A and B are shown apart, each in its own frame.
Chain A
Amino acid sequence: MTSETASAGVKPARPVPWRDPAIRGIAYQVVFVAAVVGFIAFLVHNTMENIGRQNIATGFGFLHREAAFGIGETLIEYSPADTYFRAFLVGLTNTLYVAALGIVLATLLGTVMGLARLSSNWLVRKLAQVYVETFRNIPLALQLFFWWGLLNKMAPGPRDAIQILPDVFVSNRGIVFPVAVANPAYRWVGAAFLAGIVLAIGVSRWARRRQAATGRQLPAGWIGLGLILGLPAIVFLAAGAPLQLDVPALKGFNFSGGHTVSPEFAALLIGLTVYSGTFIAEIVRAGILAVSWGQSEAAMALGLRSGQRMRLVVLPQALRVIVPPITSQYLGITKNSSLAVLIGYPDLVSIANTSMNQTGQAVEGIAIIMAVYLFISLAISLAMNLCNRAVALVER
């Protein structure tokens, strides 16, 4: 047939350009991108125009001016004589501090509760379920007010503070406890601690290789723990055990000395931990349930004890399911920490709000908040993606 030879040798005629799917596809994309860019450009232009007409100051020059307001809790040195930039840094460190602690504590709580929900003990299982269903379904903002109100209203004033441990006082100004006064020897103790961790990892690797080669086991976990805790202890004693405590004492209105955990910080940390812990518990439970029972049975058939079964067989497989959704939870904890504004913990948003109001430069302030949260979130995502790659299934 002639048609066969024709279709083999002759190219089909190209359609006219406006009927060509390829060209049309490109055209749509160009139009769409142009529309988006144009719209953003318009918004920026419009905003600048309006700001200009009202003679509102613009730019980030205000960051170098004196902030002139006080901040209640600071991890780095700060006084009202410092700049707005320094104030933003204080807010950022406060945000990172509460978010980092929240992530660690929520992970611990969530893992424990997730395992508890799978417990064979009826009471433990049901208690974990009640915890998850209660705290998961109450808005975080309400929970923050609850914890904050509890700490504020239940605790007595500083002059009637309750002493729960020697030199540890609870009042509505927070929990204040003694801290060690800085000493040059502590740097060596810290170095010994790090060295202990490195050695422990080395021992564990060597033990694994030896077990693979000879079949003989070594209690590498206990040896590692001994190294991590023992080395710093030896260095501490060798330096003459220099321990001088900064003990809190009631002076005037409040305690001075020691370290204070404020009710705002405590309420925020408890709120974030308890709320996000519920989601993490469900993720952990789902991850473990995703590992088929056959795996456990096979492990039992090999004679592994229940701890080994969990650690060597179930968890490594469960982590593949757990890590990606837990990343979202970590991001959530970081972003939810901005609810600190409600109860007066000076996080980044709280500081930015004050700065915006004192300088009137709301656009710049919001831009800083957005950029910082974006940066933190991307950093967490990156770290968790690396973690995910480490636990992901290695296909052969």
Chain B
Amino acid sequence: MSTLLSKRWAVVAVLAALAWSAAAQAGPTLDKVKQNGAVTCGVQTGLAGFAQPDSQGVYSGFNVEICKALSAAIFGDPGKVKFVPLTAQQRFTALQSGEVDVLINNTTWTLSRDTDLGFNFGPVVFFDGQGFLVAKKLNVKSAKELNGATVCVQPGTTTELNLADYFRASKMEYKPVVIEKLDEATGAFFSGRCDVFTTDSSALAAIRVGRAQKPDDYVILPERISKEPLAPVMRHGDEQWHDIVSWAVYALMQAEESNLTKANVDDALKSDDPAIKRMLGVTPGMGKMLGLDDKWAYNEIKMVGNYGEIFDRNIGAGSPLKLDRGLNGLWTKGGLIYPMPIR
């Protein structure tokens, strides 16, 4: 009888230990990342050009390469990333609960997400705007002609709210068909369930090229009904991690501004320019301030490339999407990409 009793107590003790240790664990994110040996990066379940797994489940795309650059800055190895595919609805809970360390998945920076949801945003990696994709045979030339349309949209997105705002402001009627999974949502649009599919225009371009049987049968309407600054997202309460992600992104942008590429960064180590010497860790100090190796920025550029290279390869001129740099050009070339000074 006494053995049974002690067994029960043992169970209670184990339960308590498990529960309390879970509570004590949540330390700074960088420690956790180093302990796990990988950055856990939340990406989309599949959006051509931004984040998409191939038949072997290997992810590629614009967001994926930014995650890889982050891994290169932390570990000196772009491969130490664990990609977690998340739908628009799953992403915030996954980040809040600590399942992922950072979301790099075309999440729009908004006030309520920054405050009520308990998040911090890194630098904007893509300036986007919401658009409408329609079939050419409907003969619609402008979003102002969409009164009465049925619109496919994903739930839990800023898109869903902008859509409601736009039709309200324009005094037009619409019928939303709200489907969580992008596959089913776009499938419903292409089968004709909806007249319109709406999301960020970059994603519309990806969907038109990647998912339509005949991309030429579909057209993206000229209106951009919202501002969609897409930025990496982190949890509140870890300033160091916020700094690391932010500066890892700024370094990619600064590299493009300073004409440092994957190919020439080794030569640049011999440069006399003090700014480049600081950034590449030839003059030590910058990496240490972040809690990283002084070679952090060098590793990012050498192993992944600069912002412009990542853009062109995945979504720009060198990709099937062929998106213009437009707003996403460097500030020196009329765009909005403006890295903060690394010093």
Which residues of chain B come closer than 8 Å to A376, judged between CB atoms?
A: none
**Do residues B164 and A54 form an inter-chain contact, with CB atoms below 8 A?**
no
How far apart sit A133 and B322, CA to CA, in the bound complex (Å)?
52
Which residues of chain B come closer than 8 Å to A79, judged between CB atoms?
A: 168
How far apart sit A225 and B191, CA to CA, in the bound complex (Å)?
46
CB of B313 closer than 8 Å to a CB of A: no
Please report B residues at the A interface, Cβ cutoff 8 Å.
8, 12, 15, 19-20, 22-23, 26, 88-89, 92-93, 96, 112-113, 115-118, 138, 146-150, 155-157, 160-161, 163-165, 167-168, 174-180, 184-185, 188, 191-193, 195, 235-237
Which residues of chain A come closer than 8 Å to B15, judged between CB atoms?
A: 35, 39
Against B, the Cβ 8 Å flags (1 = close, 0 = not) of A278-309 are: 00000000000000000000000000000000
Against B, the Cβ 8 Å flags (1 = close, 0 = not) of A312-349 are: 00000000000000000000000000000111101000
Residue among A46, A254, A358 making CB contact with B175, cutoff 8 Å = A254
CB of A256 closer than 8 Å to a CB of B: yes
**Do residues A344 and B237 form an inter-chain contact, with CB atoms below 8 A?**
no
**Do residues B175 and A54 form an inter-chain contact, with CB atoms below 8 A?**
no
Once A157-B192, A263-B193 are accepted as A-B contacts, the answer to whether A70 and B176 lie under 8 Å apart by CB is yes
Residue among A49, A55, A256, A357 making CB contact with B88, cutoff 8 Å = A357
**Do residues A359 and B116 form an inter-chain contact, with CB atoms below 8 A?**
yes
CB of A143 closer than 8 Å to a CB of B: no
How far apart sit A17 and B157, CA to CA, in the bound complex (Å)?
63
Residue among B149, B160, B193 making CB contact with A253, cutoff 8 Å = B149
Residue among B89, B161, B176 making CB contact with A72, cutoff 8 Å = B176
How far apart sit A51 and B237, CA to CA, in the bound complex (Å)?
11
**Do residues A80 and B193 form an inter-chain contact, with CB atoms below 8 A?**
no
Which residues of chain B come closer than 8 Å to A359, judged between CB atoms?
A: 112, 116-117
How far apart sit A173 and B150, CA to CA, in the bound complex (Å)?
9
**Do residues B138 and A173 form an inter-chain contact, with CB atoms below 8 A?**
no
Residue among A31, A80, A361 making CB contact with B164, cutoff 8 Å = A80
How far apart sit A71 and B167, CA to CA, in the bound complex (Å)?
13
Residue among A54, A68, A70, A157 making CB contact with B237, cutoff 8 Å = A54
CB of A11 closer than 8 Å to a CB of B: no
Mark out the residues of chain A between 350 and 396 whose CB falls within 8 Å of any chain B CB in the assembled complex. 350, 353-354, 356-362
Could you list 17 A-B pairs, sorted by A, with CB under 8 Å? A31-B8, A53-B237, A54-B118, A56-B96, A57-B115, A57-B118, A68-B164, A68-B165, A69-B161, A80-B168, A253-B150, A342-B180, A354-B155, A354-B160, A357-B89, A357-B156, A360-B117
Once A35-B12, A54-B96, A55-B236 are accepted as A-B contacts, the answer to whether A264 and B177 lie under 8 Å apart by CB is yes
**Do residues B117 and A56 form an inter-chain contact, with CB atoms below 8 A?**
yes
Which residues of chain A come closer than 8 Å to B178, judged between CB atoms?
A: 71-72, 344, 346, 350, 354
Residue among A31, A254, A360 making CB contact with B148, cutoff 8 Å = A254
CB of A153 closer than 8 Å to a CB of B: yes
How far apart sit A358 and B155, CA to CA, in the bound complex (Å)?
9
**Do residues B138 and A341 form an inter-chain contact, with CB atoms below 8 A?**
no
Residue among B20, B155, B185, B235 making CB contact with A353, cutoff 8 Å = B155
How far apart sit A46 and B146, CA to CA, in the bound complex (Å)?
49
How far apart sit A79 and B23, CA to CA, in the bound complex (Å)?
42
Residue among B12, B116, B174, B188 making CB contact with A360, cutoff 8 Å = B116
A57-B117, A253-B195, A344-B188 known; 4 other A-B pairs, CB under 8 Å?
A54-B118, A55-B118, A256-B148, A358-B156
Closest 3 CB pairs of A and B: A357-B156, A360-B117, A56-B118
Least distance between A242 CB and chain B CB atoms (Å)? 29
How far apart sit A42 and B160, CA to CA, in the bound complex (Å)?
37
Which residues of chain A come closer than 8 Å to B113, judged between CB atoms?
A: 360
How far apart sit A31 and B88, CA to CA, in the bound complex (Å)?
44
Which residues of chain B come closer than 8 Å to A344, judged between CB atoms?
A: 177-180, 184-185, 188
Residue among A68, A157, A252, A343 making CB contact with B184, cutoff 8 Å = A343
Find the B residue at minimum CB distance from A264. Answer: B177
CB of A251 closer than 8 Å to a CB of B: yes
Once A69-B160, A360-B116 are accepted as A-B contacts, the answer to whether A251 and B179 lie under 8 Å apart by CB is no
CB of A95 closer than 8 Å to a CB of B: no
Which residues of chain B come closer than 8 Å to A362, judged between CB atoms?
A: 92-93, 96
**Do residues B118 and A358 form an inter-chain contact, with CB atoms below 8 A?**
no
**Do residues B148 and A253 form an inter-chain contact, with CB atoms below 8 A?**
yes
Once A42-B19, A81-B168, A357-B88 are accepted as A-B contacts, the answer to whether A70 and B174 lie under 8 Å apart by CB is yes
How far apart sit A122 and B164, CA to CA, in the bound complex (Å)?
57
How far apart sit A173 and B192, CA to CA, in the bound complex (Å)?
9
**Do residues A70 and B191 form an inter-chain contact, with CB atoms below 8 A?**
no
CB of A211 closer than 8 Å to a CB of B: no
Which residues of chain B come closer than 8 Å to A129, judged between CB atoms?
A: none
Residue among A35, A68, A251, A350 making CB contact with B155, cutoff 8 Å = A350
Mark out the residues of chain A between 118 and 173 whose CB falls within 8 Å of any chain B CB in the assembled complex. 152-153, 157, 172-173
Least distance between B324 CB and chain A CB atoms (Å)? 30
**Do residues B160 and A172 form an inter-chain contact, with CB atoms below 8 A?**
no
**Do residues A70 and B163 form an inter-chain contact, with CB atoms below 8 A?**
yes
CB of A244 closer than 8 Å to a CB of B: no
How far apart sit A343 and B193, CA to CA, in the bound complex (Å)?
12
**Do residues A172 and B191 form an inter-chain contact, with CB atoms below 8 A?**
yes
Residue among A46, A57, A342 making CB contact with B116, cutoff 8 Å = A57
Least distance between B29 CB and chain A CB atoms (Å)? 12
Residue among A55, A68, A254, A343 making CB contact with B179, cutoff 8 Å = A343
Least distance between B116 CB and chain A CB atoms (Å)? 4
Residue among B22, B26, B155 making CB contact with A357, cutoff 8 Å = B155
Against B, the Cβ 8 Å flags (1 = close, 0 = not) of A4-36 are: 000000000000000000000000000100010
**Do residues A342 and B150 form an inter-chain contact, with CB atoms below 8 A?**
no
How far apart sit A31 and B138, CA to CA, in the bound complex (Å)?
70
How far apart sit A362 and B180, CA to CA, in the bound complex (Å)?
16
Which residues of chain A come closer than 8 Å to B155, judged between CB atoms?
A: 350, 353-354, 357
Least distance between A270 CB and chain B CB atoms (Å)? 16
Which residues of chain A come closer than 8 Å to B156, judged between CB atoms?
A: 353-354, 356-358
> In the complex, which of the residues B22, B174, B175 has the most CB atoms of chain A within 10 Å of its own CB atom?
B175
Find the A residue at minimum CB distance from B173. Answer: A256
Least distance between B134 CB and chain A CB atoms (Å)? 10
**Do residues B163 and A353 form an inter-chain contact, with CB atoms below 8 A?**
no
How far apart sit A57 and B26, CA to CA, in the bound complex (Å)?
19
How far apart sit A137 and B89, CA to CA, in the bound complex (Å)?
30
